[in-house]
Each structure stands twice: as structure tokens, then as C-alpha cells.
Amino acid sequence: MWKYFKVVIKVLFPLIFDYFTWILRYSLNPTKYSFEKRFNKVQKIVRKILNAFGVKIKVNNYEEYSENLKNTESLIYVCNHISFIDPLVFIAIAKRPFSIVAKKETKKMVLVGRIVKILEGEFLDREDLKQQLKCFMRVQKNLEEKNRDYVIFPEGTRSQDYNMKTFHHGSFRPAFKLKKPIYICSVVGCPKVLDIKDKGKYYPINFNFIEKINYDFYQNKTTNEIAEYAENLIKENINEVRPLNEAEYNKINKIKN
């Protein structure tokens, strides 16, 4: 409970001020403002929130990621999903603005829902196949016409204790149709941040830019095969990074084994 009290003390009043001065306005009429301006404003407030929670982000392969963005067209990021914190971490470290595909339940969340709207994100209904098709058609259109990057969590929902769910191959279809690059990523360490029972003061999070695959790599694969490739790569990375993240958590919080 103390961690939430600390966050409230640090960011509640600035959040209220931001909500009524620009968050509400930007979310209701996002296209009135440049995408870069909107993303930069969101990034600043997200960094404040994560800092209030004691989040310490370590980005692996950051230089490679930065180089990969140079002279690179729009692309899709795919990542495992373990916490509501995941997209915030992604926003905090991004070198280039992007939009998000989020499940429809997120729309009802006061702050996160507004952020998705500000970034012109899509809300996906996993129970409605027609809605899913329309959603990914809009993603495909924006990838092409607006040169817009997207973050997609192919599991469709959060996994428990890193037991990843099967990746939905439809998440890869927009990139496949347009021959766009796909950046495979993983995130480790987020669940503890919102765990009310956790006694930690600081929360190390490992964000990993694993591999960027171009069309020439996956052109002879089906979207099912691409999804399976990404899923296996992320699982392998998580198995490698998770013990290191746990050790760092114990070290930074001075927890003895």
C-alpha cells in the first residue's frame, strides 16, 4: 500500500493538472496536434509515473535499436505482455513516436485509455473477429499512409508469471502485407511494480530489443510461422534475462537470499 501512497504524493497533483490542461483535450481531438508533440508530452508524464514507482529501466541492445531506426520506414514492434506497465516502459524508452494496439478493456481506464487515444491507438476486441480484421486493416493503412510505427502484444492479453500465451498470427499480418520490418522485443520485471504485496523500493526492468526482421527474412513464411518464430525468440530471451533481473531486484533492494 505504501508504494501507491508514495506515487500519489509524487504525481497525483501534477497528473490532475496535466489531465485538465492537455490530456483530456489531446485525447478528444488528437489530430489537431502533431503526433510528435503528443508523443513527447505523453513520454514525459509516463517517465514521471515510472520514476514515482521506483522503476529503473535497463535497455539491452539500445545502440543497435537506435541504428536500426535510421533511414528505416514504419515498422511493427511485437512484445510479450505481463503487466499494464509494459506499454508505459515502451513509451518511456522510445526513440521514435509510435501508436499502440490495446485490448478494448483499456479504453475504460482513465489515464491509460486517454494515452492510447492521444497516440491514435486501436482498441481490439478479441471476442469479435470482424472487429479484429477492421482494426488491423486500420493499422495497415496507417503503417502505409502515415508512416506510423505500432506496438502490438500478440498474446492479446497479459500472461501470468511469464507463462506466455500463443501469439495470434493476425498481429503480424499488417507488416506482412506491406513488407514492413518487424522488431521483436521482450520485457522482464514489470509485474512486481504494481504488486501491492511486494515490499521492494526499486524495480529493475529489462527491456530487450532482440531482433529486427525484414521482409527478405520472412517473405517465404506464413504469418503463423512468423508468429511462432517471434514467440520462441522471446521465450528464449526471457529465460535468459529473468534470473538476472531477479538478482538485480534483490541487489538493489538489499534482499539477502
Backbone angle region of 162, left / alpha / beta, with phi > 0 → left and psi within -120 to 50 → alpha: left
Number of helical (H) and strand (E) elements in the chain, helices listed first: 11, 7
Report the alpha-carbon distance of residue 221 to residue 74 in Å, rounded: 21
Tens-digit pLDDT profile for residues 55-106: 999 999 999 999 888 877 899 999 999 998 999 999 999 999 999 999 888 8
Tens-digit pLDDT profile for residues 183-241: 999 999 999 998 888 888 999 999 999 999 999 999 999 999 999 999 999 999 999 99
CATH of domain 2-252: 3.40.1130
Cα→Cα distances 231→80, 159, 166, 227, Å: 8, 13, 7, 6
Q: Reply yes or no on whether the pLDDT at 4 is more than 80.
A: no
Q: Reply yes or no on whether the pLDDT at 1 is more than 70.
A: no
Among residues 41, 57, 40, 51, which one has the least CA distance to residue 11? 51
DSSP single-letter state for residue 39: H
Tens-digit pLDDT profile for residues 132-166: 889 999 999 999 999 999 999 999 778 877 889 99
Among residues 7, 112, 95, 234, which one has the least CA distance to residue 123? 112
DSSP single-letter state for residue 20: I
Cell 492510447 belongs to residue: 116
